[in-house]
Structure 1
Amino acid sequence: MQNKDIEARRVDAISRGVGVMTQIYAERAENSEIWDAEGNRYIDFASGIAVLNTGHRHPKVIDAVKAQLDRFTHTCHQVVPYENYVTLAERLNALVPSSEPMKTIFVTTGAEALENSIKIARASTGRNAVIAFTGGFHGRTFMGMALTGKVAPYKLGFGSMPADVFHAPFPVEMHGVTEADSMAALDKLFKADVDPNRVAAIVIEPVQGEGGFYVAPVSFMKSLRALCDQHGILLIVDEVQTGFARTGKMLAVEHYGIEPDMVTMAKSLAGGFPLAAVTGKAKIMDGPAPGGLGGTYGGNPLGIAAANAVLDVIDEEKLCDRANSLGQRLKQRLESLRDSVPEIVDIRGPGFMNAVEFNDVKTNLPSADFANRVRAKALEKGLILLTCGVHGNVIRFLAPITIQDTVFSEALDILEESIKESRVA
């Protein structure tokens, strides 16, 4: 079977709204490698957009899911509950930094986790308004789109967004926005647009995902925590992309020395199976009335089994330490290219949540063209990369943290070749 034949069928059968980055069709995958329908091998530096921190088909995850398959696949936890749901909730409650008792709910997707965090915030505070940040990405449902700080392509053509959602600029000094600017914008927002006593929550990614892998400064996160405490606002930390060892900590919020009120999680939580969670302070999580939270597939038994195994793997294989080691190697290789590739304007990211940003050398403006040339050349050589950023000029690196050393070295060579060749394209 040929990729091009399947692609022709896709165009006829599937809405154009479902954008597809490559025209290679997966046949099988193992750890950090994918083989397509034609037998071609690719190194996966996308991980299904940060879903596979423990790699494709980690043996312990697969064994846990197979064992669950032999027991039952669905009862709906709200109808007939099951113990491993409780166990996973207990484990997540212990992971989130807090001096207070914590509680958890399980849903299916990251967007659904964000939706439910807003429901919980509104129910527990009696307030309606929510503040998010420019460049943030929080999902494709209507509240997810409203929270997302990027119009194209996520909001185009979908009409009015939910009310009482406001945005402040995310601090990115290289693009002219300082921490002081962001805090001043919040102060101006409270004076011009929304009474802080009406704000239920502030939502932030500690490292922006789709927005460009920009890292929130420690001092900024501490200032947000203080601002929320001052006005009785809840701080929701979106860890959908940053969670589960990606940043060198189990959760990125651990880098900041603050306690969030709620944390949203998904993606790598269940190692490739659909599962998401909201974990927060018990007094907040109990705000909604019984029946106000849930979902038919929320906390599906297969996803729960996979997630318990994922947490075991991260601990047993010391993936937080490995993320730091791999990220250091990647950034060192990129740094070695700076003199010969002046298009590189920044290399960043904690742990193994790394990115490189490119500008046009003639205009010194963000260059999506250069980033896309690198991505395309790498794909030709068998390396799958993702671009991101408000300007589309950033390549983000999301390889499995379990990637084999030999495969990682091979990928770094391909990446270097692709970047250098893009200069003369």
Structure 2
Amino acid sequence: MGSMENNHKILAKESEAFATAARVKYYDIVIDSGRGAILTDVDGNQYIDLLASASSTNTGHCHPKVVKAIQDQAAKIIQYTPAYFANSQAARLVPRLAELAPMSGPVEVAWGNSGSDANDAIIKFARASTGRQYIVSFTGAYHGSTYGSMTLSSVSLNMARKMGPLLPGVVKVPFPDPWDKLPDESEEQFVDRYFKMFKLPFETYLPVDEVAAILIEPIQGDGGIVKTPPEFMKKIYQFAKENGILFAVDEVNQGMGRTGKWWSIQHFGIEPDLMSVGKSLASGMPLSAVIGRKEIMESLGAPANVYTTAGNPVTTAAANATLDVIQEEHLLERSAKLGEKAKQFFEGEQKKYDFIGDVRMYGLDGGINIVNPQTGKGDTAATTRIMYRVFELGAIIISLRGNILRFQPPLVITEEELDRAFGMLDQAFAEEAAGKLTLPDNADELGW
């Protein structure tokens, strides 16, 4: 890493007016530009991006086709509110998204600006179409930062602290985290135990005929990149269908090819009734969508879910180009192929270093637990030392839940870049094993 002088100057000036609540702190850098999987800061230092802007730039930074689509559209018209009139880009995108949706039968789309308001829209449409009030979500989930989506979430206490009362009618049930599996407990016993906990509210205080929807991330993102056990998913889906409850999925983090399929729910062979999409939908431009079965989406009339800028010409042009890039460059297949390579690398490291616990990889989408070898429990200090060393060596990786390395590079990352990143990770692991790494001075400030 070279000089950080300009980074520090800009950050010092910004900090005078920037709210603490608006950024999860990791590294003192100011990103100036990006291309593909490479980021450059204001001092000219380059980094391999292993985060893809929180999985919002699956097509990489400044993909030429996406850039051209944005530039060409901006020269025609930047904004006219889709709340009143259609625009040519959005009108083209709607049927494309409907066709890609993992749902049979007629499907409709409504726009939003972020994954947060797409999840708010799920609440609206679910309540309207069922005439029921309650929404069930899971611990460890991250669904967004608007009041509705924040209420659905439970990945950080700072998403609830000092802000109550939150949205009424939301009930959270335990997510089956793999590290909560008991010693000698079989997968079947584990699933049965968590399904029993899932049903407890319905048997004690939550009338099943007043529940509108169950919302789940098929693979939790900020909760640690954790796939829902398939048998558990099957059980809650059947429960929903048997009781007239809508089954909704959040694909904001895990959709758009991230897991080697268009949507993470496709790993389960289940068709949702509603789904939220965002982040990489427009390669990071502010665009989201709620997609659902037509009869559900027609349960509300305008202006129940309109936003002045949602679905505007520039963001939808970027989304159309994004779909083109994913299809033309076969990024689903690329994610699956390079994800297997990443899995082999991390599993090889796991054999070398006893502080690497569970390794989860679903396409280019991974969570790597860093643990205390003596206790098997998560080791936040070691995780921070490792990720900070990787940053010093020239790659961007962050932690989740304190002790999980989040591995989500752009799907366009080259194999040479991936190999270089693996070299940096291996060096950081080796130095941690040798006791050579120290915590940064501001370690207590870093991470979720």
Kept after mapping to 2: 8 A contact 1:171/1:181: no
- Measure how far apart 1:183 and its partner are: 1.5
Counterpart residue type for residue 374 of structure 1: I
Give 2:187's aligned residue.
none
In the other structure, the counterpart of 1:386 is 398
User: What amino acid sits opposite 1:118 in the alignment?
Assistant: I
d(CA) in 1 for partners of 2:172, 2:325 = 38
What is residue 103 of structure 1 aligned with on the other side? 108
Per the TM alignment, residue 205 of structure 1 is displaced from its structure 2 partner at its CA by 0.2
Q: Secondary structure at the match of 1:338?
A: helix
1:388·1:395 contact (CA, 8 Å) conserved in 2?
yes
Give, in angstroms, the shift of residue 79 of structure 1: 1.9
Equivalent position SS for 1:339 = helix
Q: CA deviation at 1:173?
A: 3.1
Contact (CA 8 Å) 1:314, 1:320: kept in 2 or not?
Answer: yes
Partner of 1:21: 26
**TM superposition score normalised by structure 2:** 0.92
* SS of aligned partner of 1:337: helix
**Structure 1 residue 364: Cα displacement:** 2.0
Q: Is the 8 A contact 1:275 1:298 kept in 2?
A: yes
| Residue of structure 2 in register with 1:415 after alignment | 425
Shift of 1:116: 0.7
Q: Secondary structure at the match of 2:159?
A: coil
- Which sits farther off after the overlay, 140-149 or 171-180? 171-180
Aligned-partner Cα distance in 1 for 2:56–2:156: 24
Q: Deviations over 1:162-211 (max 9, x none)?
A: 11111111112322373212211222110112101110000000110110
* Aligned equivalent of 2:224: 212
Matches of 1:7 and 1:302 in 2, distance apart? 30
Displacement after TM superposition at 1:289 (Å): 1.7
Following the alignment from structure 1 to structure 2, what is the Cα–Cα distance between the partners of residues 193 and 9?
52
2:161 to 153, 156, 177: 156
- Are the counterparts in 1 of residues 155 and 222 from structure 2 also a CA contact under 8 Å? no
In 2, Cα distance between equivalents of 1:334 and 1:258: 29
Aligned to 1:312: 324
> Are 1:252 and 2:269 matched, yes or no?
no
- The range that moved more, 218-227 or 374-383, is 218-227
Distance 1:338 1:81 in 2: 52
Letter matched to residue 350 of structure 1: Y
The answer as to whether partners of 1:131 and 1:203 remain within 8 angstroms in 2 is yes
1:169-180 superposed matches below 5 A: 169-176=174-181, 178-180=190-192
Distance 2:145 2:350 in 1: 36
Distance 1:223 1:87 in 2: 37
Residue 159 (structure 1) shift: 2.2
User: 1:151 Cα shift?
Assistant: 3.7
Secondary structure of the structure 1 residue equivalent to 2:220: coil
Report whether the alignment pairs 1:298 with 2:272: no
Structure 1 stretches of at least 4 aligned residues deviating more than 3 Å after TM superposition? none
1:45 is matched with which residue?
50
**Structure 2 unaligned regions, length at least 5:** 183-189, 438-448
Q: CA deviation at 1:378?
A: 0.4
What is residue 399 of structure 1 aligned with on the other side? 409
Among 311, 330, 342, the alignment partner of 2:354 is 342
SS of the residue 2:215 aligns to: strand
2:73–2:313 Cα contact (<8 Å) kept: yes
Structure 2 Cα separation of the partners of residues 118 and 299 of structure 1 = 20
Aligned residue in 2 for 1:94: 99
Which amino acid counterpart does residue 369 of structure 2 have in structure 1?
E
Amino acid at match of 1:347: V
Bigger shift: 46-55 or 176-185? Answer: 176-185
Show structure 1 runs of 5+ residues with no match. none
Q: Which amino acid aligns with 1:29?
A: G
Bigger mean CA offset, 96-105 vs 235-244: 96-105
Which of 6, 9, 14 is the matching residue for 2:13? Answer: 9
Q: Normalising by structure 1, what TM-score?
A: 0.97
CA distance in 2, matches of 1:81, 1:125: 29
Partner of 1:132: 137
**8 Å Cα contact 1:56/1:272 also seen in 2:** no
Task: Supply the distance in 1 between the matched residues of 2:335 and 2:347 (Cα, whole angstroms).
Answer: 18
Q: Which amino acid aligns with 2:415?
A: D
Whole-angstrom CA distance in 2 between matches of 1:151 and 1:174? 18
Shift of 1:104: 0.3
1:73 matched to which residue of 2? Answer: 78
1:102 Cα deviation after fit: 0.3
C-alpha deviations, 1:82-135, integer Å up to 9, x for none?
A: 132122111111111222110001110000100011001111111110100010
Match of 1:376 in 2: 388
Give the CA deviation at 1:374. 1.1
Work out the CA distance in 2 between the residues paired with 1:118 and 1:86: 25
Letter in structure 1 aligned against 2:416? T
Residue of structure 2 in register with 1:36 after alignment:
41
Provide the residue aligned with 1:275 in structure 2. Answer: 287
**Structure 2: distance between partners of 1:80 and 1:269:** 21
User: Match for 1:83 among 80, 83, 88?
Assistant: 88
SS at match of 1:29: strand
- Please state if 1:356 is matched with 2:361: no
Per-residue Cα deviation, 1:223-249 (whole angstroms, up to 9, x for no partner): 222111111101110000000110000
Q: Percent identity?
A: 33
* Preserved contact between residue 215 and residue 349 of structure 1 (Cα < 8 Å): no
Aligned partner of 1:203 in structure 2 is 215
